[in-house]
Amino acid sequence: MELSPSLQSVNLGDTDGFSGLLGLPLDQGHSLDALATKRRSSSRSIKRRRFDDELVESSLGTPGALGPKLARARTQSLSSPALELGMNTTMPSTSQVVTPVMIPENRQRRSSSKPSTSSGRRSRRPRHPHSVATKDLGRWKPTDDLALIIGVQQTNDLRMVHRGIKFSCRFTVQELQQRWYALLYDPAVSRIAVAAMRNLHPDLIASVQSRALFSKAEEQLLGTIKSTTQPTIETFQEMLAQNTHIFYPSRTAKSLLMHWTLMKQYSLLPDQTVQPLPRGEHILNFTDAEEMINDAELMDLHDEALERELALADRQSKKEIRYLENELGRWQVLVDTVTGISPPDFDNQTLAVLRGRLVRYLMRSKEITMGRSTHDHTVDIDLSLEGPAWKVSRRQGTIRMRNNGDFFLSSEGKRAIYVDGRAILAGNKYRLNNNSVLEIAGLRFVFLINQDLMNVIRQEVIKLNLQP
């Protein structure tokens, strides 16, 4: 059995042994019983422990020390993977009989009282012969082995199998070749693989067989249908019924139609002629082809209604963007709803808080405005969020923080602002302390100052003033 290194359409082994496995769900005349592993039998006697005199004899190195080992007659029959897969090979049985050597009577017996160590017990333990053969079985699933066998039977080319079959994980061509050789010639691997494939569910086997590669004979039959015709499923059903010995058993009329369509799409049918590529100086390059194109023919038709709608949508979007950009500078206050749970009033960016009954206004800039927001006029603190504010001016007042950490309130509305019961008329200023109560048109607020942040600011001002 010769294997070509190029792996191109070569004889990859005796694949007749796999025919029973591959046709299980579809071929009623085949069975997997021939692939079962034969029973191994041996006439070797049961190993017994040696006596002390035999230990002494073996330690002295006498020729009779090998007697108990060579006196056993062994008959062993090995089942090779070729036997399981259709190729019968037998091993000749060997038997040797050696006469035991008599031990002298004056030999003194030695009793070994030392127990055998774990290292010695480990050294006498025989190595498992299948450990090397089964170390790489985890990557190969039974469906992969079945797909590999079907692919090799259909194409007789491992490279074609590597390109056309999607396995459970990525395998190289060398790995496919090693696996194929192991299935043919390695008894441990073939025994485990055959047992796993026999235990597959019939639906999995049918799924793998439905994706079998097309052989050359099958594609030649499909090539008899001309590319200019419009075949139907009945056409392929009739072809399948007339050539059952050529088509794979899992083929259906629909699968044949799909494969014929792919062959027609890629110009693989015999009656399709492939246009040769032009050669010489008359070859048209990309630049010349681009110059030959008339751009006027490629332009879309002019639609005035569509352009008008697009222009209006663009104008509206730009107006919203401009409005948001103008509002970004005014978002100096965050509004928080007052709930039953008392969260911390301050953070590292909040200078002061104007707390009402329903909402809290977090002051995060050195200057903020208070009042009533309208469609044409906006302020930082909209008092209408707290309650009825129809008596509040659109610009009621301004709160500023100086560099030393002091807060001052400027009244700018028609009605006065009451701070701790004192009325602040329009045009006047008043210093705000921590826990000051502000009353504006019946709405009351408590002004809270972030003392920790103010202390840090005051210390920095003192350091700057002390510097020469």
Q: In this predicted model, what pLDDT tens digit does every residue of 246-271 receive, in sequence order?
A: 999 999 999 999 999 999 888 888 88
Round to whole Å and give the CA distance between 310 and 303.
11
96 has pLDDT over 90: no
Neighbours of 151 (CB within 10 A): 24
pLDDT in tens, 308-366: 999 999 999 999 998 887 766 555 567 766 665 555 667 777 889 998 888 888 888 88
- Of residues 463 and 347, the one with the higher pLDDT is 463
- What the block records as the tokens of 97 is 């009989």
Q: How confident is the model at residue 40 (pLDDT cuts 50, 70, 90)?
A: low
> Backbone dihedral region of 410: left (phi > 0), alpha (psi from -120 to 50 degrees) or beta?
beta
- Alpha-carbon torsion (260, 262, 268, 271), positive or negative: positive
- Of residues 133 and 382, the one with the higher pLDDT is 382
Mean per-residue pLDDT, 303-307: 86
pLDDT for 373: 87
Mean of the per-residue pLDDT values of the chain: 74
Q: Percentage of the chain with pLDDT > 70?
A: 63
Mean per-residue pLDDT, 441-468: 85
Report the residue count for the chain.
468
Neighbours of 370 (CB within 10 A): 28
Q: Percentage of the chain with pLDDT > 90?
A: 35
Q: How confident is the model at residue 15 (pLDDT cuts 50, 70, 90)?
A: low
Give the rounded distance of the alpha carbon of 419 from its chain centre: 65
Round to whole Å and give the CA distance between 45 and 68.
11
Q: Check: CB of residue 149 under 8 Å from CB of residue 183.
A: yes
In the sheet where 367-371 sits, what is the strand order?
A: 381-382, 367-371, 395-401, 407-411, 429-432
Q: Which of 70-79, 185-194, 335-344, 404-413 shows the lowest mean pLDDT across its residues?
A: 70-79
Angle at 72 between CA 69 and CA 77, to 5 degrees: 120
pLDDT for 255: 92
Strand partners, 39: none
pLDDT for 119: 44
Angle at 98 between CA 96 and CA 103, to 5 degrees: 155
Alpha-carbon distances of 344 from 143, 338, 339, 360, rounded to whole Å: 64, 11, 12, 12
84 exposure class (CB count in 10 Å sphere: 0-12, 13-18, 19+): buried
Round to whole Å and give the CA distance between 169 and 139.
7
All structural domains of the chain: 1-40+50-97+131-213 (no CATH), 216-265 (no CATH), 333-457 (2.60.200.20)
Mean per-residue pLDDT, 148-175: 92
Mean per-residue pLDDT, 197-213: 92
Round to whole Å and give the CA distance between 221 and 235.
12
Q: Check: CB of residue 12 under 8 Å from CB of residue 3.
A: yes
Mean per-residue pLDDT, 288-311: 78
pLDDT for 53: 58
The model carries a pTM of 0.37
Q: Check: CB of residue 225 under 8 Å from CB of residue 242.
A: no
pLDDT for 279: 62
pLDDT in tens, 394-417: 999 999 998 888 899 999 988 899
The DSSP string of 145-157 is HHHHHHHHHHHS-
